[in-house]
């Protein structure tokens, strides 16, 4: 990112994401991506950010978070696909990718990005919202307290999330992304301390970062146990609406 842009934004307005053999740093107006190619050379790309949801309606309180999440997912998948291009020989197209390329042709990449985001959102709702609720509901006859039901559901959700992260970390493709998670944290730390982004400067910072997205998700899951306890244990549809909200 140019020095002009960096001077106009707050240090904490820069976020990041690990990629396949690389990292991405995202500010309010630009994205910078660095990927280590198979030959060891580092490819750097800088691009402008074009939000999907530009209307003021999408920036209203209470609803803007959902649209920011979707925008971030689209941007993240796009950069992941970019980093994967350098290792095309290592990856085989699945049936969905082949189908989308056949149907959408030149616009296949865009279709793949949005399909990936939709599938990710559906998967998250089914596994981390419907799943824990369904499993806990089986104990409804044994546990009469709605407070305990919400506590059990929250514990199940946290365990499922931690288990999911552990299992996907064993996949070779995902492992190549996770390897750069700490590098992304180090880079953000270095930038926030106002130092030049060099290997020597970045190396001395911790791989742990207080604004880590994964840590944030775990905190949200823990806090949600307390919040959802105030709503009792209503019917399944209402529980789904409350948890999605």
Q: What is the pLDDT of residues 194-237, one digit of tens each?
A: 889 888 999 998 888 888 888 888 888 899 888 888 888 888 78
Parent domain of 235: 3-244
Q: How confident is the model at residue 6 (pLDDT cuts 50, 70, 90)?
A: very low
Backbone angles phi, psi at 36, to 5 degrees: -85, 115
Report pLDDT for 243.
Answer: 80
Instruction: State the chain's mean pLDDT as an integer.
Output: 85
Mean pLDDT of 60-77: 84
45 closest CA partner among 71, 19, 69? 19
Mean pLDDT of 144-156: 92
Lowest mean pLDDT among 91-100, 134-143, 158-167: 91-100
- For residues 92 and 150, the model is more confident at 150
Report pLDDT for 158.
Answer: 93
Report pLDDT for 201.
Answer: 92
Report pLDDT for 2.
Answer: 46
20 in Cβ contact with 83 (< 8 Å): yes
pLDDT in tens, 24-58: 988 888 899 999 998 989 999 998 888 877 778 87
Query: Two tokens at 191?
Result: 């930038």
Mean pLDDT of 66-91: 84
Domains of the chain: total:
1
pLDDT in tens, 89-115: 556 667 777 777 777 877 888 888 889
Q: In angstroms, how far is CA 155 from the centroid of its own chain?
A: 21
Cα distance between residue 112 and residue 100, in whole Å? 7
- For the stretch 138-149, what's the b/e string if a residue is b when 16 or more beta carbons lie within 10 angstroms of its beta carbon? eeeeeeeebeeb
29 in Cβ contact with 10 (< 8 Å): no
Report pLDDT for 1.
Answer: 47
Q: Cα dihedral sign for 69, 70, 74, 75?
A: negative
Cα distance between residue 138 and residue 88, in whole Å? 45
DSSP per-residue string spanning 125-154: HIIIIIHHHHHHHTTTTT---HHHHHHHHH
Q: In angstroms, how far is CA 9 from the centroid of its own chain?
A: 22
Q: How confident is the model at residue 128 (pLDDT cuts 50, 70, 90)?
A: very high
Q: What percent of the chain has pLDDT over 90?
A: 29
Q: Please enumerate, as own/partner, the contacts of 33-37 that have beta carbons within 8 Å and a separation of 24 or more.
A: 33/79, 33/82, 33/83, 35/82, 35/83, 35/86, 37/86
Q: What is the pTM of this model?
A: 0.77
pLDDT in tens, 82-91: 998 888 755 6
């Amino acid at each position: 990112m140019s020095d002009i842009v960096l001077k106009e934004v707050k240090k904490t307005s820069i976020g990041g994401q690990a990629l396949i053999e690389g990292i991405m740093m995202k500010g309010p107006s630009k994205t910078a991506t660095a990927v280590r190619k198979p030959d060891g050379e580092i490819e750097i790309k800088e691009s402008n950010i074009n939000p999907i949801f530009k209307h003021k309606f999408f920036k209203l309180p209470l609803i803007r978070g959902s649209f920011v999440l979707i925008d971030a997912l689209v941007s993240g998948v796009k950069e992941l696909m970019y980093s994967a291009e350098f290792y095309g020989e290592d990856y085989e197209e699945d049936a969905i990718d082949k189908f989308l390329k056949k149907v959408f042709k030149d616009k296949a990449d865009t279709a793949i990005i949005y399909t990936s985001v939709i599938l990710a959102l559906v998967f998250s709702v089914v596994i981390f919202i419907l799943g824990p609720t369904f499993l806990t509901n089986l104990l409804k006859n044994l546990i009469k307290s709605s407070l305990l039901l919400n506590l059990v559901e929250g514990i199940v959700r946290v365990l499922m999330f931690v288990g999911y992260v552990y299992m996907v970390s064993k996949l070779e493709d995902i492992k190549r992304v996770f390897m750069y998670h700490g590098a992304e944290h180090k880079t953000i730390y270095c930038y926030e301390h106002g130092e030049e982004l060099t290997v020597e400067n970045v190396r001395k910072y911790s791989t742990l970062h207080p604004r880590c997205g994964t840590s944030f998700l775990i905190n949200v899951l823990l806090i949600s146990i307390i919040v959802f306890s105030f709503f009792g244990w209503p019917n399944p549809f209402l529980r789904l609406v409350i948890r999605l909200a």
